[in-house]
Amino acid sequence: MRVSTQFSIAVHVMLMIAGFPDEKITSEVAAESAGCNPVIIRNVFAKLKNANLLITKSGKGKTTLARPDTEITLWDIYCAVESEETEEIFKFHQNTSQTCMVGSNIHSLLAPHFDSAVAALKADFSKVTLADLKEELYDTIRSKASEDEVFG
């Protein structure tokens, strides 16, 4: 199982926007912070926008959250960049023998258990809001008592 870096990048940019609402966070700025190409950020922007989590405007460069950070969970961000469909997450082997008792039933037998696993993942990620992450970030910053620049 593998979740692409787009998920952590998506959380990264959402946290920048939620945590520092006065900063102008362009794809260029976010790309430097995330250590990747600005186009990667723009693609993530597009997915987050498509999932109604983010508001972006061409030429403006001022991205804002589409709703309060208390109402955006890790699961929301996950779904924006990755599929939540069980069939997409757990790939079944195809062409199973339909004359074999196991081959003809394995799919319908496993499907509910895979659904349950996805539900468990959803439940766990749904517990964490962007506001939670923001507070954890603020705590970390405070505890480090740092005077570094916010972005660099």
Partner DNA sequence: TAATCTGTAACAACTTACATTACAAATATT
Partner DNA sequence: AATATTTGTAATGTAAGTTGTTACAGATTA
Q: Catalog residues that contact a copy of itself under the rule CB under 8 A.
A: 1-5, 7-9, 11-12, 15-16, 19-20, 32-36, 74, 82-83, 88-97, 99-103, 105-106, 108-110, 113, 116-117, 119-121, 123-125, 128, 133, 136-137, 140-141, 146, 148-152
- The residues, any chain, with a CB within 8 Å of residue 62's CB and separated by 6 or more, are 24, 25
CB of 90 to DNA, least distance (A): 10
With CB under 5 to 8 Å by kind, the binding choice for 52 among a copy of itself, DNA, none is: none
| Residues 75 and 126 sit within 8 Å (Cβ to Cβ) | yes
Phi, psi of 131 (to 5 degrees): -65, -40
Q: Of the ranges 56-64, 70-78, 123-131, 142-150, which one interacts with DNA (CB under 7 A)? A: 56-64
**Residue 100: how many other CB atoms lie within 10 Å:** 10
Residue 1 token pair: 């199982």
